[in-house]
A and B are shown apart, each in its own frame.
Chain A
Amino acid sequence: MSTAAPVAPVTPGPSTAADERLLRPIRRPSAGTAGATLVMAILVGLGVWSVIDLGIDLPTILGSLGSAVAFVGRMFPLDFPPLPDLAGMIAETLAIVFLATLLAVALSVPVSLAAARATTRGRITRGAARTLIVLARAVPDLVLAIVLLRVFGLGPVAGILAMGLHSVGMIGKLYADAIEELDDSPRQAVETVGGTRSQQIWSAIPMALLPQVIATGLHRFDINLRTSVLLGYVGVGGIGLEIADALRSLDYQRGMALALVVLALCIVVELVSGGIRAAILPRPGGRSARTGWIDRLLDRPTARPATEQIHAPWSVDRFRRVLSVAVLVVVTAGSLWKVDLDAATLLGGIAEIPSTVQLFLPPGFGGSAGTVFADLLVTVQIALAATLLGGILALPIGILAARNVVAGRAVHTGFRLLIVIIRGIPELILAIIFVVISGLGGVAGTLALALGAVGLLSKLIADSLEETDPRPQEALRALGASAPQVFLAATLRQAAPAVVAHTMYLLDTNIRSATLLGVVGAGGIGFLLLNAARINQFEVVTAIVLLMVGVVLVVEALSMWLRHAVR
């Protein structure tokens, strides 16, 4: 708010306000800021301690270079399975991932409508929906898969349901956020016409939300594709199962060939989904109505006057919409056929759920509480160390990849490309490779996660640097500041809160990933979890899951608070 007070007299000289005390920054007792700084310092300290305690140092890394060379030797010649088999595996994996994502989207729409402030029925509904979302996110899909495999037997169904349910945690949250960010005036307009609550929601929300629904779904498809490889390890079908089998029998030539196929698949899927997302998300300025050959082909001029044309004309857009729906239906039917899912299996399994759940209760440690807690600590250490190492590597890469920091086009394009390549490699594949190179244990998991973290964090850093307000930068250039001065004072300062937030988000996801990577022997509690399930110690599985959910929720709460405090 502007004050109407006149400007103080413009007279240079001594002033009462300009006393010495004001020359130093006054740490206003905004407890948030001070606390946030302290917590961040502690987290960095814990990260350093974790790196040391896990035994990650330069000699270890250099020492494992020798085994890396030996490993590469054993990889070749790569042994690809015959093409029909390979195509079958790929089709099965894609079918599982597609159905899981579809299920997640279908479940997320009602959940997010209940969770969003604008559309919820009441405080209780909203709280319940929010809790459901948090729980779905906190229970790893691997754990769900272990439980559901018990119910539905080995095969794709358990994988589809596990990923489908877990994905609600992310998709539901993003949808709910998107609904809350929607412009409320269309809904109010329906309200003023006298529409009911459900009419307001149905006519104002779906079309506005559709691009976001599809974009988020595609994003999750990418993630689920990577997860499906991991689920292969516990007996869900597809290409992951084949990789697990090959590596268990130390057949690196086949295993690495399949890993390469997964890598290619991930990159192709990411490119395709990126293309679709770019095409559907609203662009600044909007799209102008175009007339293409399809219009001319489909939209024959009719004799009817414009006032009687109650159907939309067959434009490119309408054609595209109908085609998209048709493709969706065909792919769904094809996927259902491929994974051999039928109502009888599904219902039979659901009937068995109560008796299976009883196996998992009550939680207990089966006499190995010490091991469980020790491994839990290792998991947290892996996440902390990986986030620290990943952050240290990601900062320079992210800065060099930002368009508005480095003048040379070749530099930022090159680093952007590097990021895309790093991001393309699933963390699980990295973990498998590092386990082979540096042996079972935390070092492999940390290095794999750190490398994965570089891919994610450097992209986020580059994006937040590019999103900074360019006007302060221009102002500083105009007053004669050099490029490094402008970068530090204007660009980095503006992006700093976002960088902290992204790093905390990374720690958050790394805690989950550290659990999961334990399955392939990359250290931490995941290995224990898988073993407990194998030897039917289900009460131990429950105990581990509860501990994990606890840790995840604590870290998530901490990271949410920090993200809020550093703004």
Chain B
Amino acid sequence: MTSSPGPHPRTTPAALPADPALTLRGVTKDFGKGVKGLDDVDLDLAQGSITVLLGLSGSGKSTLLRHLNGLHTPTHGTVSVFGESLRGLSGPRLRTLRRGIGMIFQDYGLVGPMSVLENVCTGALGELRGPRIGLLMYPKRVRREALQHLDRVGLADRAHQRADTLSGGQQQRVAIARALLQHPRILLADEPVASLDPVSAAQIIDLLRRISEEDGLTIVTALHQVELALDLADRVVGLRSGKVVFDRQTAGMSARDAAEIYESVATPTTQELEALTDMHSAAASSS
């Protein structure tokens, strides 16, 4: 265990405008048999920022995201959300914390045979008590608000269709509406556009940026397309074999930096040396 930060980890007040929304200290996830999902990760993610995690599949992006809302528990280290450590949280307290963190997934995570509106309403389950099935079991207030969020993502007219009749991009927008119903302060997105065509993907990226601006949301998303990442992010964090390999602000980033990032996340792990020479020759030829 690394030294855990106190409830008010104002260690670098000059660097950050406020308390970070998310803090990771020495987070290691051991999946057993020597497989490390995460390896000693330290990160502070500022409130209201958009951070993109870049990396190949298996590099630890999803694992990192799942640590941020307690779907995974670190083997070592601490994850804190707005200063509150997740370690040892369980049951109702963990659910309360998760209620404040929205999450969207590559495959949307919608219940296919259920209507679009009811799918959005499930976003309120964290604040409601007891199991529910059927739209009428949700309070009218929840239904009304769910419909507003659907309208916000441009799908109010589809509210009473089955979720599995929508296109992929539409389903992802429904998933975003569901997350918005949680009134989250943080939104996690795990490869939100990996299953989508370029046009739908651009729509989703656009939507995420607007939500972040309008609601002041902190967004952490895993992506593997570097272009989209640079388009969306305030900050890009590269992962490889569970380790942070780079961590940059995108403001004022040069084309060469971008190329370097591209190289370092787009080459297979087994060819590290080759990749390095390629990167150097690419840099040399471009200059």
Contact = CB atoms under 8 A, between A and B. Distances in A.
B156 A478 contact: no
Contacts of A216: none
Contacts, number: 158
B123 A15 contact: no
B189 to A, nearest CB: 11
Contacts of B169: 2
B180 to A, nearest CB: 9
Nearest to A5: B154
Interface string B170-189: 10010100110010000010
A26 B203 CA distance: 28
Interface in B145-177: 147-148, 150-154, 156-157, 159-160, 167-170, 173, 175
Contacts of A469: 112
**How many A residues touch the partner, as a band?**
35 or more
Contacts of B71: 474, 477-478
A547 B71 CA distance: 59
Interface in B100-127: 101-105, 107-115, 117-118, 122-123, 125-127
A485 B109 contact: no
Interface stretch (B22-30, B50-58, B193-201, B275-283): B193-201
A281 B79 CA distance: 45
Contacts of B160: 22, 25-26, 28
A411 interface: no
Given A23-B147, A478-B71, A480-B99, A497 B113 contact: yes
B211 interface: yes
Contacts of B114: 489, 493
A494 B130 CA distance: 19
Given A10-B152, A475-B109, A2 B199 contact: yes
Nearest to B100: A480
Contacts of A3: 167, 170
Contacts of B99: 479-480
B135 interface: yes
**How many B residues touch the partner, as a band?**
35 or more
A471 B109 CA distance: 5
Contact of A18 (B97, B112, B123, B147): B147
Contacts of B159: 22
B132 interface: yes
Interface stretch (B36-44, B136-144, B242-250, B263-271): B136-144
Nearest to A13: B148
Contact of B214 (A10, A472, A481): A10
B111 A472 contact: yes
A43 to B, nearest CB: 21
Given A485-B130, A489-B122, A489-B125, A2 B196 contact: yes
Nearest to B106: A471
Contacts of A23: 140, 143-144, 147
Interface of B: 69, 71, 92, 95-99, 101-105, 107-115, 117-118, 122-123, 125-128, 130-136, 140, 143-144, 147-148, 150-154, 156-157, 159-160, 167-170, 173, 175, 178-179, 182, 188, 196-197, 199-200, 203, 206-207, 210-211, 214
29 contacts: A4-B199, A6-B203, A7-B153, A7-B173, A8-B152, A10-B152, A10-B153, A15-B151, A15-B156, A18-B150, A22-B147, A25-B134, A25-B160, A471-B109, A472-B110, A474-B71, A475-B103, A475-B108, A475-B110, A479-B179, A480-B96, A480-B99, A481-B126, A482-B125, A485-B130, A485-B132, A489-B125, A493-B113, A567-B113
Given A479-B126, A494-B112, 13 more contacts: A5-B154, A7-B154, A22-B156, A23-B147, A26-B160, A475-B110, A476-B125, A478-B103, A479-B101, A485-B132, A489-B111, A489-B132, A493-B111
